[in-house]
Amino acid sequence: MAADLGARRLFALRVGGRLGQKIPLSLEELMPGSLAPVYAASLTATGLEECDVVTARLVEAVVDRRSADSTAGMRSVTASESKPFAKKPGERFWFIGLPVPLYNANRGTPAGFSLGYGYEAENFRVSATFGGFSRDSDGISYGVLEAMWIPLDGEISPYIGGGLGYMGAASRGGMGGSLEAGIDAFRLHGVRALAGVQALIPFFDTTRNGVVQTVSPRSFYPAAFLRLAF
């Protein structure tokens, strides 16, 4: 269908689809005489009731040489444009862990605990974790935001990653980083088990001033861990 909407401006409206289904509409401005297309815009109406709104937007887009998407308003956005994006599957988990310090061997009793919350998809996990561990009065507490890469999609997969956050050690506090590697097991079940090693790296001085002597700073705090995710 063609119409002359202005001096020497020729337009053609094309309608496709079937009744009861989505209706693709396109509007073209044609060169008088040759009928060569000058500018075009297209939108899809989900039914006949949307055709008047879509047609008005197409006219506005072609006349002003704009994209059809830019003509959307609160009262003229189509059902197709307003539908939510499809998303890949993922799950949210609570993580409860028992870290065991890997330093000061045979000195004192190790202690540690961690609690986290995160989102895990097929090949990655992001989480926030809070916890701490110590041995022989030498320990660290932390709160970090982490990102992990999980290469396999089977029942068991290794993973590796790290994070940044705030840490406290040697009666001081500041920013720090974390590195972690481990095994993510029972991925096809509702409850998962994670085991591996981690290293917390304070970005501040951890020299300890004792009564008898000054203890040299520790550049990182390594630990093994076991976690349950549910």
| Residue 14 C-alpha from the chain's centroid | 40
pLDDT band at 6 (very low <50, low <70, confident <90, very high): very low
pLDDT band at 210 (very low <50, low <70, confident <90, very high): low
Q: What is the pTM of this model?
A: 0.73
How far apart are alpha carbons 64 and 112 in whole angstroms?
66
Degrees, nearest 5: CA angle 151-157-160: 60
How far apart are alpha carbons 37 and 79 in whole angstroms?
28
How far apart are alpha carbons 106 and 75 in whole angstroms?
72
Sheet with strand 2-6: strands edge to edge: 2-6, 9-15, 23-30, 37-45
Assign 20 to helix, strand or coil: coil
Look at residue 183 in the predicted model and tell me its pLDDT: 98
Over 90: is that where the pLDDT of 208 sits? no
Query: What domains lie within the chain, and their CATH numbers?
Result: 2-82 (no CATH), 91-229 (2.40.160.20)
Give me the amino acid identity at 173. Answer: G
The answer to whether the beta carbons of residues 169 and 140 sit under 8 Å apart is: yes
Share of the chain above pLDDT 70, in %: 93
DSSP state of 209: E
pLDDT in tens, 132-162: 999 988 999 999 999 999 999 999 999 999 9
How far apart are alpha carbons 216 and 205 in whole angstroms?
10
Q: Which of 49-58, 61-70, 206-215 has the lowest mean pLDDT?
A: 206-215
Look at residue 212 in the predicted model and tell me its pLDDT: 56
Beta-carbon neighbour count of residue 192 at 10 Å?
19
